[in-house]
Structure 1
Amino acid sequence: MKKTLIALMSLAAILAAPAHAIDAKYRAKLERSGCTQLTEADGTCDINKTKAQNQAAHPQSQMDVTPYLGTWQMFNANGQRLPKLVVRKKSYLFDGNPIETANVPFITDKGELYLVFKTRSITLKSDGNGEWHSPAGQGYLKRQ
């Protein structure tokens, strides 16, 4: 009986402990550099540089974001309306408030604008469709 109780208590302690995929030093480097694990892995961002240095190496001004400009209505997977995203030449508004990207925005090989914010990642397509993902859920976007 004691062995079973000890085993159950040990299992409960292990399951209750938080799991961290990356260590604190790596997380700090990502935050300082403005990179995400994805952009660091694909070579579009260097975690050993600052966010300003990464943006200078991949200036947004050289990207043609014209096909993505405008107001994008966000929806969750069930079709419920969420706040709007406004894409401008050099800035973004989320629900009417200015917001900075957590990465250097870039256009993928498929011609999609890829943005990462603190709470979600967004992929916009020039045809007026898009999708978003966050730890809390996912959904889609439509240009208005």
Structure 2
Amino acid sequence: MNKILLSVCLAVSTFYTMNSAYAIDAKYRAKLERSGCTQVSELQGCDVNKSKAENSKAGFGTDKRIISNTYAGKWIAKNSNSEQTVSNILVDNKENVWVNGQKVKSKRSDGGLIFKKGFISYKLEGDPTQQDKSYWTDSDAKTSGPIVRK
């Protein structure tokens, strides 16, 4: 009998301990929602007593208009020997790609955006610190060169 009673008491106390450890107070949750903060951003300085707009001005939260794609923009593929322009590349925020005014299919692979037009394959590096490593390769002429942001 004592073993059963002890097991029940242990199970009940474990249940209450586990549930209370993960609970967020309803008032605190409402403050988080109103302020646009998360528990992590609050630790970084986001003020739960301010509005979303005030915290956004302070640099917290996500303003979807500010977020852009790292590939977005104008790029120029140049010949490494002659510095002549091989292609003009345009990438929008949805990763739609145009090469010399013609839309081409693109895909993310190996840390970059890869696309092809004719015999020329292009790779744009997604990491802003590695964008100087973007390149193109012509499989027919066996030439290659850098791609730079315009």
Q: Structure 1-normalised TM-score?
A: 0.45
Rg larger for: 2
Q: Which has the higher contact order (CA 8 A, sep 6+)?
A: 1
- TM-score, length-scaled by structure 2: 0.44
